[in-house]
């Protein structure tokens, strides 16, 4: 649905027409809130030593609503659940309570998407979901777990839709995919990374995820490695030409080159990047990458290449880099020296 309802804003700046009295009133209100919070924390902490009642549980809810980063209270809350609630509950009731916990922390996450303790609590809830509803060897034995973990994947996808570059969310995604009772096929995950990259290829996490999946699929023989690698190079070339400044593209390229293919691939890629450099002579990444790969050739295929001319080309590129990126000129000079001294015995 693309319909939009435009919200009015006051010239983009909130006009504070507060008088001194209003400011005083606001300060008093804040003081009251601070007092309330302090009292509540003290009350809860005093109970933490053995009070597993429902009252105590409700107090932790109130406290965590105000401050979800108060991780002691999350711990206490879990202890109440384990020692107070679960000991008296059937598996069905346990699952119910945990579903409620997940729902409650979902709202908390929306308000505080990067608080580690909320994510941790969710992990604990997921891992605590009991087996059921069916008996062992029945297909529904993992039913509750499957639906909880499926839902979790959905949550993580929503977070990544909102912020595709949130690496906490990508990490959590890997945790969820690994923990699912019936794991999803990796090919689907590859398609997911494709979607994210097509939406915006300036996304290191998405490329990173892709590299992990491809490694796994290649190792299992589920994908033809050579063909797949070629397709990745094709994808990369489109990204490079569209935006030569995007760092994540070049990093993925380095990884891809490193996965194999030898001298042929190295030389071919160097040529492709050189064409881009000819078209866009101020591209620092092109120069850096060409130099990087030429040095790689020198190191790994020294007997198959013209060492002198390659070294000369590297030196030329470093000179251009110094001009383009004077802030790092010392680094380029150092690299030239390293190349010059390579193979010479250390003094």
Partner 1 sequence: MEECQFDAVIFGTGLVESMTAAALSKAGYKVAHIDVNPYYGGDEASLSLEEFVQWADQASSSSSEPSSPPSRFQRVSRSPGVPPQSRQYSICLQPAVIPSTGPLIASLVSSGCAKYSGFRLVDCVSMYDSSGRVKSVPGSKEDIFKSKEISLIEKRRLMRFLTFAAGDLDGRQELEGKRDMPFVEFLKTTFTLSDDIANVIAYSLAYCMSTTEPTLPTLRRLQRYLRSAGRYGPSPFLIGHYGCLGDIAQGFCRAAAVSGGVYILGRKVTNISRALPTKTEEKDGLPSSSDEKEKLAFNYDIDLEDFPDTLSCNLIISSPTYIPSALKEETLQVPPPSRKEFDSNVSCLARCVAILDQALALRTQDPQRSAPERTEEDEEDSQTAETALKGVGVDTAILVFPPSSVTGGSTAHSATVLINGEGSLSTPKDRWLVYITLPLSQQPEASISAEVLLKPYLDALLLLSADPSHSLINPLFTTFYLENPAPPSTTPGSSLHAESNSYLVPAPLPLVSLPDFPDEAALNAESTFKKAIKVLRSVSNENKEDEELDFWPPLPSDEDADDDNEW
> Where does this chain bind partner 1 (CB under 8 A)?
2-11, 14-15, 17, 65-66, 104, 107-108, 110-111, 185, 187-188, 190-191, 194, 198-201, 217, 222-224, 228, 231, 235, 237-239, 241-244, 275-276, 279-280
Cβ closest to partner 1, residue 15 vs residue 88: 15
- Match 């001294």 to its residue by tokens: 341
Pairwise CA distance, residues 209 & 134, whole Å:
35
How far apart CA 127 and CA 36 sit, in angstroms, is 34
Q: Give the Cβ contact number of residue 313 at 10 Å.
A: 16
C-beta of 280: minimal distance to partner 1 in Å?
Answer: 6
Smallest separation (angstroms) from partner 1 to the CB of 55: 20
Least distance from C-beta 151 to partner 1, angstroms?
A: 18
**Shortest spacing between CB 65 and partner 1, in angstroms:** 5
d(CA 52, CA 276): 67
**Is the separation of the CB atoms in 78 and 121 below 8 Å?**
yes
Distance, CA of 112 to CA of 101 (rounded, Å): 16
Between 100 and 224, whose beta carbon lies closer to partner 1? 224
Long-range contacts of 265-268, Cβ-Cβ distance < 8 Å, separation of 24 or more:
265/229, 265/233, 266/293, 266/296, 266/297, 266/301, 267/297
Q: Which tokens in the block code for residue 145?
A: 């777990």
State which residue, 64 or 148, has the beta carbon closest to partner 1: 64
In the complex, minimum distance from the CB of residue 131 to partner 1, in angstroms, rounded to a whole number: 27
Q: Which is nearer to partner 1, 223 or 266 (CB)?
A: 223
């Amino acid at each position: 649905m693309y319909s939009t309802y435009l919200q009015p804003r006051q010239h983009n700046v909130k006009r504070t027409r507060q008088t001194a009295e209003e400011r005083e009133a606001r300060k008093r209100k804040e003081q009251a809130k601070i007092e309330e919070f302090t009292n509540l924390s003290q009350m809860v902490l005093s109970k933490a030593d053995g009070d597993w009642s429902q009252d105590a549980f409700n107090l932790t809810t109130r406290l965590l609503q105000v401050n979800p980063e108060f991780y002691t209270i999350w711990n206490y809350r879990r202890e109440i659940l384990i020692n107070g609630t679960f000991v008296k509950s059937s598996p069905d009731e346990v699952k119910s309570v945990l579903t409620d916990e997940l729902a409650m922390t979902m709202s908390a996450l929306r308000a505080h998407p990067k608080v580690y303790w909320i994510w941790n609590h969710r992990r604990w809830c997921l891992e605590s979901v009991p087996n059921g509803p069916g008996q062992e060897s029945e297909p529904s034995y993992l039913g509750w777990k499957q639906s909880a973990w499926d839902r979790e994947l959905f949550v993580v996808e929503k977070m990544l839709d909102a912020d595709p570059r949130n690496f906490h969310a990508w990490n959590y995604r890997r945790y969820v995919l690994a923990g699912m009772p019936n794991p999803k096929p990796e090919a689907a995950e590859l398609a997911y990374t494709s979607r994210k990259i097509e939406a915006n290829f300036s996304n290191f996490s998405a490329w990173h995820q892709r590299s992990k999946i491809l490694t796994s699929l290649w190792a299992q023989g589920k994908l033809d490695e050579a063909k797949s690698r070629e397709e990745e190079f094709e994808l990369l070339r489109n990204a490079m030409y569209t935006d030569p400044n995007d760092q994540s593209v070049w990093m993925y390229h380095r990884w891809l080159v490193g996965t194999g293919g030898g001298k042929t691939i190295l030389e071919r890629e160097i040529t492709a990047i050189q064409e881009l450099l000819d078209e866009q002579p101020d591209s620092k990444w092109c120069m850096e990458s060409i130099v990087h790969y030429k040095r790689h050739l020198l190191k790994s295929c020294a007997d198959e290449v013209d060492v002198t001319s390659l070294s000369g080309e590297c030196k030329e590129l470093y000179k251009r880099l110094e001009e383009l990126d004077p802030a790092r000129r010392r680094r380029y000079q150092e690299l030239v020296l390293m190349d010059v001294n390579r193979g010479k015995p250390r003094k």
